[in-house]
Amino acid sequence: MTNRLFFDVNAHESVYELIIKEQESVGYYHLPTQDISYLSTYKEDFEKHTKEIKHLVVIGIGGSSLGLKAIYRTLKNVKKFSRKIHFLESTDPIAIDSELEKIDLQKAHFFVISKSGTTIETIAIYKYVLNLLQEKQIEDAYRFTYVTDAGSALEQHATTKPSFCLHVHKNVGGRFSVLSSVGLAPLSLIEVDVKALLQGASEIKNSFFEAGYMRDILLKKATYYAKNSFAYNINALFVYSESFKYFCEWYVQLWGESLGKKQLHSSFNVGLTPVGLIGPKDQHSFLQLIVEGLRDKSVTFLKIDSFNKDIDIPAISLKSLEKLDSINELSFNSLINLQADAVIESLLKKGDIPIDTIVLEQIDEKNIGKFIFYYELLTSLVAKLMGVDAYGQPGVEESKEILKEKLKDRRLL
């Protein structure tokens, strides 16, 4: 992974000390070097107690699904997996129904993932699934894995039947939890190289903390984003790979929910708005707005150097379309990267759009691990520089309380 910045700024070096200190109380920094023997134990138990499981169904929302989904969907087109992972993450009845239609319940194992253990969407769907299993007289022993905080009500509940229960690592928030049991437990049951994932994350971590290449670049980028957070209040991530689509959603949560906060010292509302874009599709959509719109956006381009599969444009000359013979015998891998380069070049010419480029060698666990940890570190740095707490989400509590009241009112009717 390389990252090149096309803007300059004097990095605010002292933020590094704050991050060093923060490691004592923030758990995600330690995930790359975690002891993963618990995963082997879990996998052994799982294979012993279950049989013929072909569908892993994740019941979880937000931080309990976005990271896992991103890794799974990114890898599934380049690796063959013996089990499918499905996601039940909405209270939309049509979505629940049509996702369940794809699943052979006899061959399904369910993950109920909720840090707090009382996430309303998750428990609602869990109840629905329990009822469905009962209706179809499907044995529910060892049918569930619960992933939750130690001591939660869900952990208590898990003890009421034969099942698996794993704890979310200590002090790890939902949106920083993809490399904890939340992501790793389901991934360890399919052919994902979990070690390589953590290895990739470790490399970025070490490069940052041991004054490698990443220290300088992350400090600079974070400083620039924080310093210009009013002028450039939108940060687009433009990935030239359909496979990375779900990492855009993961990025949106990580960035938006961590940085959109009241400032700690002023209670002033600050924030940076994440936008995920996919190339070349969004050249025919959002790009016009970047090129000619208000100068309120920075853009990070993500390119894959070598796509794991490649195909060529055949040397066919089409009648009346001979002009387009220029693409003949070009590989699609080259074409998509040339398209990215052309857009980058055209934006650089404008001179007032902050741009940087990330290049991953290929799509695999190691590169994904790097990408994840890079963005997590960047988020923590920008949060420190903007004077916000990256790790809570106090703003969403009020609507939860209002919902509770509405549910209470309904019971009284």
Within residues 348-367, the interface with its own copies by CB under 8 A covers: 349, 363
Q: Return the CA Rg of the chain.
A: 23
Q: Tell me the C-alpha to C-alpha distance, in Å, between residue 163 and each of 1, 166, 306.
A: 40, 10, 42
27 binds its own copies (CB under 8 A): no
48 binds its own copies (CB under 8 A): no
252 binds its own copies (CB under 8 A): yes
Distance CA 70, CA 68 (A): 5
Query: According to CB under 8 A, which one of 8, 24, 139, 398 is a site residue for its own copies?
Result: 398
Amino acid at 335: L
Query: According to CB under 8 A, which one of 24, 93, 139, 351 is a site residue for its own copies?
Result: 93
- Label the pairing between strands 55-59 and 273-278: unpaired
77 binds its own copies (CB under 8 A): yes
Query: According to CB under 8 A, which one of 266, 345, 351, 413 is a site residue for its own copies?
Result: 345
Stretch that binds its own copies, among 6-14, 48-56, 180-188, 396-404 (CB under 8 A): 396-404
284 is catalytic: yes
Q: Tell me the C-alpha to C-alpha distance, in Å, between residue 208 and each of 17, 79, 205, 377, 383.
A: 12, 30, 5, 9, 17
400 is catalytic: yes
Identify any residues that bridge with 269 across adjacent strands, giving them in sequence order: 262
Query: According to CB under 8 A, which one of 6, 38, 209, 332 is a site residue for its own copies?
Result: 332
412 binds its own copies (CB under 8 A): no
Cβ pair 237, 276 in contact under 8 A: yes
Q: What does the block give as tokens for 300?
A: 């990070």
Respond yes or no on whether the N-terminal peptide bond of residue 280 is cis (omega within 30° of 0).
yes
Distance CA 196, CA 192 (A): 9
Q: Which 280-309 positions form the footprint of its own copies (CB under 8 A)? A: 280-281, 283-297, 307-309
103 DSSP assignment: -
User: Residue 40 or residue 156: which is nearer to its own copies going by CB?
Assistant: 156
326 binds its own copies (CB under 8 A): yes
Instruction: Tell me the closest approach of the beta carbon of residue 232 to its own copies, in angstroms.
Output: 11
Instruction: Tell me the closest approach of the beta carbon of residue 165 to its own copies, in angstroms.
Output: 12
Which candidate in 48, 284, 309, 408 is catalytic? 284
- Name the helix (H) or strand (E) containing 148: strand 144-148
230 binds its own copies (CB under 8 A): yes
58 binds its own copies (CB under 8 A): no
333 binds its own copies (CB under 8 A): yes
User: Residue 5 or residue 124: which is nearer to its own copies going by CB?
Assistant: 124
Cβ pair 77, 21 in contact under 8 A: no
Q: For residue 241, give the nearest of 181, 294, 308 by alpha carbon.
A: 308
Instruction: Tell me the closest approach of the beta carbon of residue 359 to its own copies, in angstroms.
Output: 15
Stretch that binds its own copies, among 3-11, 56-64, 136-144, 177-185 (CB under 8 A): 56-64
